[in-house]
Amino acid sequence: MTGHTRDAVETNETGRRILSEVADALEGLLRRLATQQQAAAAIGHLATVAEEIAGSAKLLGYGLGAGGGEALLGARLEDFSAALGRTIQAAAEDALAGKQVAQALLDHAATVEALAAEVDAIDVAEIRARLRPLSSTIEAIPATQRASAARRAELDKLSERARHLAVQAVEIAKSRPGSRRDMVMELARSVAGLARDIAQAATAFGEDAEAAAKAARELLETARQGARGGARGGAERPRAGPIVQKGGLLGVLNREPQRRREMEWKRTWS
């Protein structure tokens, strides 16, 4: 062995395992982003519910609703407002800034591609050193790449509008029957506008998460390919056991090279 390269015919088990650990960390990030995409879908579903309520209100304004329709409309809007508030709170709590996450990951794409292609020819210490910045990025994302305050405020504003419309609906049910028609029609228009805005926010929220997920999937596939031995293919190595469980991915990359006998024992055990 000379410099930072290895004999090309020798399998670099430790290097492949480190790439597997990078892939595992990316899978963890993808699970979190999947939760964000599911939250976006849940918000989008509530936009459909709001459209249905708006349609019912319009029919009520035309006199096509059953008796006591105004009270029922108010109850539906109260339930809708509560559901939207819960969904938005859950969505905003752990939301990440998808496009920033995507850029942060793609900044490391060339490094992962190069290491995956030549993993068996590169010294383990160099693999650790070159992947350390990516591991730091992945571990820091939950704290440093949270969705912007503006995005969270946009979602909160939708929830506030829904609460206001629910209050309006209750007041309409208490008003004089002769004055309700115009109030109900105005409410129907307001709910329809809210439905459109909720749908747009859900789409933007989902697209943001998908941008990050796409970048993570691309890096994940490249890292998995490297764990299998790069361009030479071969059977996929088992995902790491004890090597990941002490100190996370950064712990693996900061670890000093171990004696060959110890590494052999770890591979057998896992």
pLDDT digits (tens, 9 = 90+) for 161-198: 999 999 999 898 888 877 788 999 999 999 999 999 99
How many residues are given for the chain? 270
Query: Per-residue pLDDT tens for 54-63?
Result: 999 999 888 7
> Which residues have a Cβ under 8 Å from the Cβ of 136 and sit 6 or more positions away?
250
pLDDT at 4 over 60: no
Contact 13, 235 (CB under 8 A): no
The reported pTM is: 0.75
Considering Cα of 74, then 88, then 150, then 52, what sign does the dihedral take?
negative
Token pair in block for residue 59: 């029919």
Could you read off the pLDDT of 209-254 as tens digits, one per residue? Answer: 999 999 999 999 999 999 988 644 444 433 433 323 334 444 434 4
Cβ(218)–Cβ(109) below 8 Å: yes
pLDDT of residue 270: 31
pLDDT tens figures, 141-161? 988 888 888 888 899 999 999
Domain total in the chain? 1
Tokens at 201, concatenated: 């926010």
4 in a structural domain: no
Quick check: is 125 in a domain?
Answer: yes
Residue 6 domain flag:
no
Rounded-to-integer distance, Cα 35 and Cα 212, Å = 13
pLDDT of residue 70: 84
Lowest mean pLDDT among 65-79, 85-99, 104-118: 65-79
Cα angle for residues 157, 159, 160 (degrees, 5° grid): 65
CB 166 within 8 A of CB 77: yes
pLDDT tens digit sequence for 17-45 = 999 999 999 999 999 999 999 999 999 99
- Side chain identity at residue 204, one-letter code: A
Residue 8 lies in a domain: no
Residue 199's pLDDT band (cuts 50, 70, 90): very high
Domain enclosing residue 28, as ranges: 13-269
- Asked if the structure places residue 72 within a domain, the reply is yes
According to the model, what pLDDT value does residue 229 have?
80
Averaged pLDDT, 259-268: 35
- 136 in any annotated domain: yes
Retrieve residue 1's tokens: 């062995």
CA-closest candidate to residue 135, choices 217, 14, 18: 18
Judge whether 155 lies within some domain.
Answer: yes
Report residue 229 as tokens.
């031995």
Residue 22: CB partners within 8 Å, gap ≥ 6? 112, 131, 134, 135, 138, 219, 223, 249
